[in-house]
A and B are shown apart, each in its own frame.
Chain A
Amino acid sequence: MSDNPFEVTKAVDFTDAQIAATWVDLPGGGFVTLADPKSPMPTFLVGGKGGGRTHLLRYFSYALQRLRHSEDLLAGVQADGYLGIYFRCEGLNSSRFAGKRQEAETWEAVFSYYTDIWLARLTVDLIADLRMTVPSQFDRDDLTGFAAAVLDLFDVDVTMSQDAGDPAHDLSATFERLQRDLDLAINNAALTHELDVRIGASPGRLVFGVPAAAARHLPALSGIVFAYLLDEFENLTIDQQRYVNTLLREKELPTTFLVGSRLFGLRTHATLSAGEENRQGSEFALVVLEDAYRAQSHQYGSFCSSIVLRRLHESGCEVGVRMRLDDFFEGPANDEQSLEERAALRVAEKTSQDPGTRPWLERLRQQLQASDHGYELSDVMSAVTFPKSPLHEKFAVFLLYRAWADGEELSGAAASVRVAVNGLLSGEEKSGKVATSYKHYRHDLYAQILNDLRLPQEYFGFREFVQMSGYLPRNLLVLLKQVTRWSLFLGEQPFRGDKVSLRAQREGVREASAWFLSDAKGLGRVGEETQFAIRRLASLFREMRFSDKPVEVSCSSFSTDRQGLSPAALNCLNEATSHSLILEVPNGRRDKNTHLLNHKYQLNPMLAPLFDLSSALRGSAVFTTADLNAIFDPAVSETQYEAVKRRILDRMKAPFFAKVPPQDAFKFE
């Protein structure tokens, strides 16, 4: 066992036994309330990478049923009420079914037949395995009847293989032969330009016919639902998905489907059934795992805790049921230490050589001198200086910038600021406007202090990691993997006596963040362009956060009605959303003026450390259509983008020349 309990972050890297061992159900009703393999309603289980789809589908699979019911497999399956026929669409190598100088319609027919053979083979293999495991429950005559019924499903004569002397295994060998013949014909078409395939059964007949024949001829499987668990649906092309959609639409009992797909992978709900489109709630149910987690965010936290505790337990770490995971991670020197005390400590450490020098005061001084406020310099500077509490001092400077931006007379404003901040320090001001403002901005102001002192931003603690995961448990595991690696590298014994140091946490989250950005990149040029747009957006949020007068608290989100966005910008925004680089916040945000409900988007909090942002969802930026086009439209040049960025930031930087947002700088067709 590795020293790092989080070395494996993907369900595909687990064996069946490990899937069983690391399984954690969702608090409350469990995953079965989201996706039930017995449900007659076909269900799409979609989400970002690492949401837990594969773990869940494999948990429902026959291989896991075997492990769970090792003592009496058949009784276990009967109690479950279903047989989980799991497969990854990737295994079809779907790109073979295109080109090679064949018509699209030809490939459509060949793919349909190949998929039917593939699914039927999986089902027959599973029944053969069940027969071998519990031979007493399967009468030979019943199996012979089953095999004959399956062969009857073909429109052509299919000779049954007679190698094994057992009907189930002979049937299995027959399907293997049929598939092999198809493979050779499909593969050779690239070289010969000929596709010598004879379609032996009408579409769907085998997919539904084999389970029906099993239910009819094999008493042990009577009443059992055959659940096809299709994972990695995104690997199929739009035409191929259309065929699977047709199977969902034409579904016949005792068959059902659970289909796992990435968000971007659901390319169509169209079918081959006279062009009909499947409708959610009618032909299929749709579960977005992240939305389900987000809807019960408190339960998501405890779900994550359970996953991590299970991992730690499996790797031999001593963990109690009531263990607080935050206890494994070092926090500030003293857990009770306030943000104000931490700020004072950081400033003292960094400016010990020259205690009077604080970068924000120096910057303010220069800005005042450079503008026409030089005559007020002395009054203003002394009013905003609070050497004993750098965080309050930062707040005083922030309030002064606000007044400056509003065109107030600065000496008077500075005097008012001093009174207000003194009120905060003395405790007289606890619930007023100033106190509320301080409460909102203090974390950003602390981040600014760190930035001004050229100190790294602080990300620590299990709760913060859960927040950063963006409702994708795999992100949490990658974070913990990198943090644990750093901890081990620094000579610590994480989860085995030592607390994980702040440095290990900081370095680990940064690496995990960089990994996330590159890992979430989609295929093709749009993937590259989206990465570029995300860098623009995140860098802009960073500059806003560290500006003189940030207008929003911990800004990492924006809202838009999407009207007026160029097609390329929309495409890029959709790509970012479907690859979880940006999360769409359910229910959106109501526009302050029009009261219309807009889309609200949050930069994935996994990216926060890479761009020195807050991982919390707080403030939302107000971007114009032109701003968003400049960020997301790849046709917008760097020069044009820089102009837009400067216009946005000028409102937040002294001397605050741009008070009113101008009209759209660029027009898009």
Chain B
Amino acid sequence: MDYSLLRRTEFPATKLSDLPRWNVFVSAYNKSERVNDVFAQVIADKKEWLVHPEYDFSAADLPATGETRVMTTRDEAEFWHEYFLMADLDAWPRNATICVDSTGFMRPHLMLLPLLLRERGFTRLDVLYADPKAYESGEKTPFTQGAVTEVRQVRGFEGTHIPDAGDNDLLVIGAGYDDELIRRIAESKRAARKLEMFGLPSLQPHMYEENRLQAAKAEEALGPLPDRSFMFAPANDPFATAQELHDRLADERARGLANLYLSPLATKAQTLGFALYYLCECIGQAASMIFPYAEFYSRETSVGLARVWLYELELDWFIQ
């Protein structure tokens, strides 16, 4: 599998007018400058804000521009079923050009979308990701608000597992800034050997160090991590992320791997990379995507907009 064949294009913040035009553009609303700037500058026949209940917006907080759909369900599968019904997806031409800005979406929802669109006959999805200039409070930026309420498999990414594989289970964590999420996910698969993937290069040079410092706080839950337990892929490159997973996990499979668990907790670009890898190589296997679901998420975590990335997903290429 060669994920480098998939196309990724960079657009500086000052050149967003160069972005292609789409039939439909969907973004998840929050207060971040990078999310709102992109929404304002994208040109599409139809532009829609989806409002996750996890952001806990009141009616007065909703955006003034663009069509806004306030979603009522937190379950990722039901979220998209609800939206598809609202937007009358069945009536869309299958060659419609669709773009989602991944920046504000909840991670499980983002992962599931390509699979659902593919199942409904769409063959192409463009995904944007906006790099911030910095996070609001550095490594102390609270991304989740409130408690983690549940750790579970992501809908559509539930595998067929082997009972009591013991030492041969593996959990790959895309380690972000939120040490509580890392701790929860590690605790949920206590017996599994753990690998951590870090974004390197990070979105901004200082962020890698912040990331490592935060992740280290979950060390007791992670257990001993030998040197080979760390993986690296660019924080804004889903295809390099998927490639790194492919290469490393091929080694792990060769050494004997029973159950595989994946949990992307860092950038949305990394999340997309994990999803692509799973959809290409793990469907129907003893592999699941797992995620720590929190009650609420911060509406504003970043400062500024550095650049925007466009990832072009050929859905029929990676979901057979």
**Chain B minimum-CB-distance residue to A179:** B160
Instruction: Say whether B156 contacts A95, CB under 8 Å.
Output: no
Render A169-191 as a binary contact track against B, CB cut-off 8 A, 1 for contact: 00000000001100110110011
Say which one of B187-195, B205-213, B238-246 lies at the interface with A.
B187-195
Q: In whole angstroms, how far apart are the Cα atoms of A187 and B285 in the complex?
A: 12
Interface membership of B159, Cβ < 8 A: yes
Interface membership of B295, Cβ < 8 A: yes
Which residues of chain B are within 8 angstroms of A525 by Cβ–Cβ distance?
146-147, 149, 295
Instruction: Say whether B149 contacts A524, CB under 8 Å.
Output: yes
Which residues of chain B are within 8 angstroms of A232 by Cβ–Cβ distance?
190
Interface membership of A472, Cβ < 8 A: no
**Chain B minimum-CB-distance residue to A62:** B164
Instruction: Say whether B150 contacts A523, CB under 8 Å.
Output: yes
Instruction: Say whether B189 contacts A90, CB under 8 Å.
Output: yes
Interface membership of A593, Cβ < 8 A: no
Chain B facing A: main interface SS:
mixed
Instruction: Say whether B220 contacts A519, CB under 8 Å.
Output: yes
Q: A122-B164, A186-B158 are in contact. Are A12 and B75 (CB under 8 A)?
A: no
**Chain B minimum-CB-distance residue to A526:** B147
B150 CB contact (under 8 Å) in A93, A95, A478: A95
Report the minimum CB–CB distance from A13 to chain B (whole Å): 4
Instruction: Say whether A99 contacts B223, CB under 8 Å.
Output: no
Which residues of chain A are within 8 angstroms of B75 by Cβ–Cβ distance?
99
**Chain B minimum-CB-distance residue to A86:** B164
Interface membership of B280, Cβ < 8 A: no
Which residues of chain B are within 8 angstroms of A101 by Cβ–Cβ distance?
78
Which residues of chain A are within 8 angstroms of B151 by Cβ–Cβ distance?
95, 523
Among A7, A16, A122, A180, the one with the most B-chain Cβ atoms within 10 Å of its Cβ is A180
Which residues of chain A are within 8 angstroms of B93 by Cβ–Cβ distance?
none
Which residues of chain B are within 8 angstroms of A95 by Cβ–Cβ distance?
150-153
Render A1-25 as a binary contact track against B, CB cut-off 8 A, 1 for contact: 0100001111011011000000000
Instruction: Say whether B146 contacts A190, CB under 8 Å.
Output: no
Interface membership of A100, Cβ < 8 A: yes
Report the minimum CB–CB distance from B56 to chain A (whole Å): 13
Chain A facing B: main interface SS:
helix
Q: A190-B77, A523-B147 are in contact. Are A93 and B164 (CB under 8 A)?
A: no
Which residues of chain A are within 8 angstroms of B188 by Cβ–Cβ distance?
90
Q: A8-B223, A13-B224 are in contact. Are A93 and B155 (CB under 8 A)?
A: no
Q: In whole angstroms, how far apart are the Cα atoms of A8 and B225 in the complex?
A: 10
Which residues of chain B are within 8 angstroms of A10 by Cβ–Cβ distance?
190, 223
Instruction: Say whether B153 contacts A93, CB under 8 Å.
Output: yes
Q: In whole angstroms, how far apart are the Cα atoms of A7 and B284 in the complex?
A: 36
Interface membership of A430, Cβ < 8 A: no
Instruction: Say whether B161 contacts A183, CB under 8 Å.
Output: yes
Report the minimum CB–CB distance from A128 to chain B (whole Å): 13
Which residues of chain A are within 8 angstroms of B184 by Cβ–Cβ distance?
523
Instruction: Say whether A524 contacts B147, CB under 8 Å.
Output: yes
Instruction: Say whether A180 contacts B160, CB under 8 Å.
Output: yes
Q: In whole angstroms, how far apart are the Cα atoms of A86 and B189 in the complex?
A: 16
Render B75-97 as a binary contact track against A, CB cut-off 8 A, 1 for contact: 10110010000000000000000
Report the minimum CB–CB distance from B222 to chain A (whole Å): 9
Among B164, B259, B288, the one with the most A-chain Cβ atoms within 10 Å of its Cβ is B164
Interface membership of A527, Cβ < 8 A: yes
Which residues of A (86-134) have their CB < 8 Å from a CB of B?
Answer: 86-88, 90-91, 93, 95-96, 99-101, 118, 121-122, 125
Among A2, A93, A179, A515, the one with the most B-chain Cβ atoms within 10 Å of its Cβ is A93
- How many residue pairs link A and B with beta carbons under 8 A? The number is 104
Instruction: Say whether A8 contacts B116, CB under 8 Å.
Output: no
Which residues of B (176-231) have their CB < 8 Å from a CB of A?
Answer: 183-184, 188-191, 220-221, 223-224
A12 CB contact (under 8 Å) in B147, B152, B191: B191
Which residues of chain A are within 8 angstroms of B167 by Cβ–Cβ distance?
15-16
Instruction: Say whether B149 contacts A12, CB under 8 Å.
Output: no
**Chain B minimum-CB-distance residue to A126:** B164
**Chain B minimum-CB-distance residue to A4:** B224
Instruction: Say whether A88 contacts B164, CB under 8 Å.
Output: yes
B158 CB contact (under 8 Å) in A7, A187, A526: A187
Q: A179-B160, A523-B147 are in contact. Are A93 and B223 (CB under 8 A)?
A: no
Instruction: Say whether B148 contacts A523, CB under 8 Å.
Output: yes
Among A190, A232, A524, the one with the most B-chain Cβ atoms within 10 Å of its Cβ is A190
Render B235-271 as a binary contact track against A, CB cut-off 8 A, 1 for contact: 0000000000000000000000001000000000000
Report the minimum CB–CB distance from A634 to chain B (whole Å): 12
Report the minimum CB–CB distance from B224 to chain A (whole Å): 5
Q: In whole angstroms, how far apart are the Cα atoms of A193 and B150 in the complex?
A: 22
Which residues of chain B are within 8 angstroms of A125 by Cβ–Cβ distance?
163
For chain A, the bracket of interface size reads 35 or more
Interface membership of A528, Cβ < 8 A: yes
Report the minimum CB–CB distance from B118 to chain A (whole Å): 11
Instruction: Say whether A184 contacts B284, CB under 8 Å.
Output: yes
Which residues of chain B are within 8 angstroms of A524 by Cβ–Cβ distance?
147-149, 295
Report the minimum CB–CB distance from A149 to chain B (whole Å): 21
Instruction: Say whether A9 contacts B220, CB under 8 Å.
Output: yes
Instruction: Say whether B220 contacts A478, CB under 8 Å.
Output: yes
Report the minimum CB–CB distance from B40 to chain A (whole Å): 34
Q: In whole angstroms, how far apart are the Cα atoms of A9 and B190 in the complex?
A: 12
**Chain B minimum-CB-distance residue to A478:** B220
**Chain A minimum-CB-distance residue to B76:** A190
Report the minimum CB–CB distance from B76 to chain A (whole Å): 9
Interface membership of A63, Cβ < 8 A: yes
Q: In whole angstroms, how far apart are the Cα atoms of A93 and B189 in the complex?
A: 10
Among A15, A63, A95, A96, the one with the most B-chain Cβ atoms within 10 Å of its Cβ is A95
Instruction: Say whether A191 contacts B149, CB under 8 Å.
Output: no
**Chain B minimum-CB-distance residue to A13:** B223
Interface membership of B166, Cβ < 8 A: yes
Which residues of chain B are within 8 angstroms of A100 by Cβ–Cβ distance?
77, 155
Report the minimum CB–CB distance from B83 to chain A (whole Å): 14
Render B90-122 as a binary contact track against A, CB cut-off 8 A, 1 for contact: 000000000000000000000000011001000
Report the minimum CB–CB distance from A474 to chain B (whole Å): 10
**Chain B minimum-CB-distance residue to A481:** B220
B116 CB contact (under 8 Å) in A88, A122, A184, A191: A191
Q: In whole angstroms, how far apart are the Cα atoms of A16 and B179 in the complex?
A: 29
A527 CB contact (under 8 Å) in B77, B116, B147, B166: B147
Which residues of A (182-231) have their CB < 8 Å from a CB of B?
Answer: 183-184, 186-187, 190-191, 193
Instruction: Say whether B191 contacts A87, CB under 8 Å.
Output: no
Q: A179-B160, A184-B284 are in contact. Are A191 and B77 (CB under 8 A)?
A: yes
Which residues of chain A are within 8 angstroms of B146 by Cβ–Cβ distance?
525, 528
Q: A180-B160, A524-B147 are in contact. Are A96 and B153 (CB under 8 A)?
A: yes
B149 CB contact (under 8 Å) in A13, A193, A523: A523
Which residues of chain B are within 8 angstroms of A523 by Cβ–Cβ distance?
147-151, 184
Report the minimum CB–CB distance from B252 to chain A (whole Å): 17
B163 CB contact (under 8 Å) in A16, A118, A515: A118
Q: A8-B224, A93-B158, A524-B149 are in contact. Are A87 and B190 (CB under 8 A)?
A: no
Which residues of chain B are within 8 angstroms of A96 by Cβ–Cβ distance?
152-153, 158
Closest 4 A/B residue pairs (Cβ): A95-B152, A183-B160, A190-B155, A187-B158
Given contacts A180-B160, A524-B295, 8 further A-B contacts (CB under 8 A): A16-B166, A90-B188, A91-B165, A96-B152, A125-B163, A191-B116, A519-B221, A528-B147
A-B contact pairs, 12 of them (CB 8 A): A2-B224, A12-B190, A12-B191, A88-B164, A90-B190, A91-B163, A125-B163, A186-B158, A190-B77, A518-B183, A523-B148, A528-B147
Give the A-binding residues of B (Cβ under 8 A). Answer: 75, 77-78, 81, 115-116, 119, 146-153, 155-156, 158-161, 163-167, 183-184, 188-191, 220-221, 223-224, 259, 284, 288, 295
Give the B-binding residues of A (Cβ under 8 A). Answer: 2, 7-10, 12-13, 15-16, 63, 86-88, 90-91, 93, 95-96, 99-101, 118, 121-122, 125, 179-180, 183-184, 186-187, 190-191, 193, 232, 478, 515, 518-519, 523-528
